Structure 1
Amino acid sequence: MSIDGHHHLNHPLSYLLQREGWTADSYLVRLDAAHQRLGYGPIARDRKKVTRWTRHGVVPEIRTQVAMARLHGVPDDEIAARPWPEWLRLACVRNRHVLDAEWTPTVTMELLARVAAGGPMDRRGFLVVAGVSPILAGLGTAEPAVASTRGSRIGARVPALFEQSLAVLRRQDDQLGSGQVHASARAQLQLIITTLKGKSYTDTTGRRLYGAAAEAARICAWTAYDSGRQSLAEEYYVTALRAAASSGDAVTTANILGFWAVLRYATGDPRGGVDLVAEAVSQSRRIGSPKMDAMLYATRARAHSYAGEVRETRQSFGAAFEAFDRSRSHGAEAPDCVYWLTLGELHMKVGSCELTLGCPDKALEQFTQASGDLHINAALHEGFPRDAAIYLAREGQARVGLGDLDGAVDAGHRAIQHLGGVSSARGTSSLTDLRTQLANHGDVPLVRDFLEQTA
């Protein structure tokens, strides 16, 4: 699905032309030169080619793609590894300083301050990193936070207050939506940064403050992503991971990696999502929380489903259910950051996996199982209206796939009711996806009425 909507600048070629100040004609001149240097001969310089590539879903022939890769400095093997136009997004990578900077607490604070001061929700653009491997490699080189002798002395009470505030922000996002919470998260991050730079504290307090900064940045990232700002979200995720590494907090690190994986698999990089979750699982072994494990396995299942890997998807959500059962039977205390994971949420995630894999019947079984349990249903719909709306829209898509148009329209109406007053680009996008599927049945009166009412 599209996170940013359908604006044509979301196409990487349109973005590159705008960034470089090239017209369609001047681009084709450059592309023709690259094409001929490869020994492929000239290409037709019909400017409508560019429009067909960027707006009408036409895929350039393979030799043209190779010439594009050479022109934009993308390795040839990426063309085989990623479908058009996903490989071209690698040419849109920016902010190399975020990737190349040393993993020290001082540099991390500079990067956090820079991204936090960049303006509220002011960038769309494309993802910051081409692949996640360089970032994951940096984790093992991070220097831990140390004591500070600047300013007045603070103790453990200050990071505890920040941690309480962040717990509130997480829950406000559930109820109010990302658009309204992002500014608050940025303000909290800036206050933590100011405290780190201007106060005196011990090593232990410093590490907790870096952990709080990491979680604040993660909330900024999540709310940016949920509002359709992928590039801004990834900047926050990269810097959040740096702060988490300096804090030495496995819970915060694993949580950031799990949420970042969602962005990667939903924006054309499911392999990157799998790699991020793999690192998160290794961090989670230090925690000993079955509920954290269940969240990560469910996220891994979604990444595999986006990659079309059926066996791996089902193995992962099997592991998620097993871990969740252990969390309930053993009564183990779970980190606060996974408070939102319920049995109903797990069933809904599995349903989403099956829908992505093209199995609407299995998807509907999971959606129905979750909504059939009154306790689960109430907890999901009352505590998490945005998630309820997204899952109801997906249930509607499954019903369309099975020919149950009455059920699909009913699910769509209920989704709209839950989304009212909650700002979320993901929620809106899910409803758009349902409307798109229903539009194929616009001759049915019930469907036509729904489409007209929700236009």
Structure 2
Amino acid sequence: MSDPIRHPLAYARQLCGNLSQTGLAVRMDQAARRRGLRSGADKQAISKWENWIKEPNSDSQLLIAEALDVPIADVELLGWPYWLPGCDSPLPLGSAYTVQALREAQRTAMDRRNFMTFGAVALAGLSAQWAAIEPERISTVLDGRRVDLELVDWLEETTAKLTSLPTEQRQHTAKLMDAHLATVTDLIEPGNYTEATGRRLHLLAASLAGICGWHRFDQGRHYAAGKHWNAALTSAHAAGDRDLGAGVLSDFAYQSIWLGDPKAAVEPLSQALIHTRHPTARSLLFLRRARAHAALGERAACHRDLSAAETELLTDAVDPAPRWCSWMSTADLAVDSGQCLLDLGRTEEAHARIDEGMRLLPRSRDKTRGIFLTYEARSLLRACEIEQALAVTTESLDLAERIGAGRCITLVRELAPTFKRYHGIDGVPELMERLRAA
């Protein structure tokens, strides 16, 4: 497979007959001349935009829009880079779109787009639909051979077994999950089942699409992850499972925070909180919204949500937590609270909370441990405890490589610029060499 496309502008150029960066600069210059202006854009400037180093100013965006034949209204409505050609919107909710969403997710296997395609406007619209639209009855046909209930039993049982495997083994199950999702989609499409069986199939599709989305997210394939989560939300809504839908919205929100767009996370999480009752689920939603507020520098809102997350987590519940958040624990609360404090500049308190969470985290959650270790390393670097930060970072990299967690490796790479300042410390050059090879 050729190299991934990492920015919507690069994909937009490809859609315009593989237009080169120089070619785009020429078109922008022509558009500027028609307006009696100077463009100032060249290949180097466009390269910086496509490598997420800089964003074009408003004047440059208007020239890009004219060069790519995009309506100016889209530029003003959607914002950069979501107005560019090729930035898809999620499919709406409703039974008419369920199979289409599942098929679109499966077609992303060869798609090379690695940028996030659903921005703040699209996610806010999707979460508003989810909150306002009541699910329809699952349509059935019943004029052919009905779905075999033993097959449905087997698919449910094997999916549960695959998802309960230790982290280190789950790296090998992605293709099996994809195959299960394709099979369930094939069973849903003809409609040859009772409404009860249809609900089971839609719930299974939602669960599988959500898991497959996380596989893509961990690989850095954000377009594919978003498509799978769109399919998961559509299927969960069709099955009438509000809690599962809230979990999918929280996945979208987590991705937005991860990709540096915390503002896009706030509305989906707020909608999910309105319609979710289980205290463990609410705790996780409050915690993720606190992370978004912290990244935005909204101190008071962050602390309110952290307090609410702790209160909900300590609340007893009659029913077990939904599967999508059953792992939520005091360790997660402690570490993510520490990351919030780190974003807010309270380094010493952040280090204490992250350290507390690391002690509480069970050994079975290796991927989470790898991510938490990078948070700990970041707090140690801010405290200028370089040797300890180096040891923690090396441990995280060792773990990430063993379990095949590309997302953890990405987090470690983000620490590299800080470590470069300490090139003379024993072990730092070796770490930098490993990161170049990773």
TM-score range, shorter chain: 0.7 to 0.9
Tell me if the contact between 2:135 and 2:240 (Cα under 8 Å) persists in the aligned partners.
no
| CA deviation after TM superposition for structure 1 residue 281, in Å | 1.5
Q: 1:23, 1:305 → 2: CA distance?
A: 39
Q: 2:20, 2:113 → 1: CA distance?
A: 21
Aligned pair 1:227/2:227, yes or no?
no
Q: 1:413, 1:120 → 2: CA distance?
A: 32
1:268–1:210 Cα change, 3 Å? same
Aligned pair 1:15/2:7, yes or no?
no
Q: 1:153, 1:275 → 2: CA distance?
A: 41
1:282–1:181 Cα change, 3 Å? farther
Once the two structures are superposed, residues 179-222 of structure 1 have per-residue CA deviations (whole angstroms, 9 ceiling, x without a partner) of x3322221111121222245743222211211111111111111
Instruction: Output the amino acid matched with 2:210.
Output: R
Q: 1:74, 1:298 → 2: CA distance?
A: 39
Aligned to 2:323: 336
Matched position secondary structure for 2:384? coil
Tell me if the contact between 1:182 and 1:223 (Cα under 8 Å) persists in the aligned partners.
yes
Matched position secondary structure for 1:201? coil
Instruction: Output the amino acid matched with 2:328.
Output: L
Matches within 5 A, 1:182-193: 182-193=174-185
1:80–1:156 Cα change, 3 Å? closer
User: TM-score of the superposition, structure 2-length normalised?
Assistant: 0.86
Q: 1:195, 1:186 → 2: CA distance?
A: 14
Instruction: Output the amino acid matched with 1:275.
Output: E
Give the percent of matched residue pairs that are identical in Structure 1 and Structure 2.
Answer: 22
Aligned to 1:29: 26
1:362–1:25 Cα change, 3 Å? same
1:251–1:435 Cα change, 3 Å? same
Q: 1:8, 1:36 → 2: CA distance?
A: 34
> Which deviates further from its counterpart, 420-429 or 231-240?
420-429
| CA deviation after TM superposition for structure 1 residue 248, in Å | 0.4
Instruction: Output the amino acid matched with 1:301.
Output: A
Aligned pair 1:412/2:404, yes or no?
no
RMSD: 3.0
Among candidates 369, 384, 401, match of residue 365 of structure 2: 384
Matches within 5 A, 1:264-413: 264-285=256-277, 289-327=278-316, 330=317, 332-372=319-359, 376-377=360-361, 379=362, 382-413=363-394
Aligned pair 1:134/2:125, yes or no?
yes
Q: 1:80, 1:357 → 2: CA distance?
A: 31
Aligned to 1:3: none
Instruction: Output the amino acid matched with 2:126.
Output: I
| CA deviation after TM superposition for structure 1 residue 158, in Å | 5.5
Q: 2:47, 2:111 → 1: CA distance?
A: 27
Tell me if the contact between 2:335 and 2:372 (Cα under 8 Å) persists in the aligned partners.
yes
Among candidates 383, 406, 410, match of residue 429 of structure 1: 410
1:137–1:60 Cα change, 3 Å? closer
Tell me if the contact between 2:397 and 2:408 (Cα under 8 Å) persists in the aligned partners.
no
Q: 1:232, 1:298 → 2: CA distance?
A: 25
Matched position secondary structure for 2:302? helix
| CA deviation after TM superposition for structure 1 residue 166, in Å | 3.2
Aligned pair 1:181/2:178, yes or no?
no
Q: 1:235, 1:453 → 2: CA distance?
A: 33
1:13–1:404 Cα change, 3 Å? same
Matches within 5 A, 1:74-113: 87-95=80-88, 99=91, 103-113=93-103
Q: 1:70, 1:133 → 2: CA distance?
A: 27
| CA deviation after TM superposition for structure 1 residue 389, in Å | 1.0
| CA deviation after TM superposition for structure 1 residue 429, in Å | 0.5
User: TM-score of the superposition, structure 1-length normalised?
Assistant: 0.83
Flag structure 2 segments of 5+ consecutive residues without an equivalent: none
Aligned pair 1:168/2:155, yes or no?
no
Tell me if the contact between 2:138 and 2:239 (Cα under 8 Å) persists in the aligned partners.
yes
Once the two structures are superposed, residues 302-338 of structure 1 have per-residue CA deviations (whole angstroms, 9 ceiling, x without a partner) of 22233332222222122111111114xx565212222
Tell me if the contact between 2:109 and 2:224 (Cα under 8 Å) persists in the aligned partners.
no
Instruction: Output the amino acid matched with 2:367.
Output: R
Aligned to 2:210: 218
Among candidates 244, 249, 254, match of residue 246 of structure 2: 254
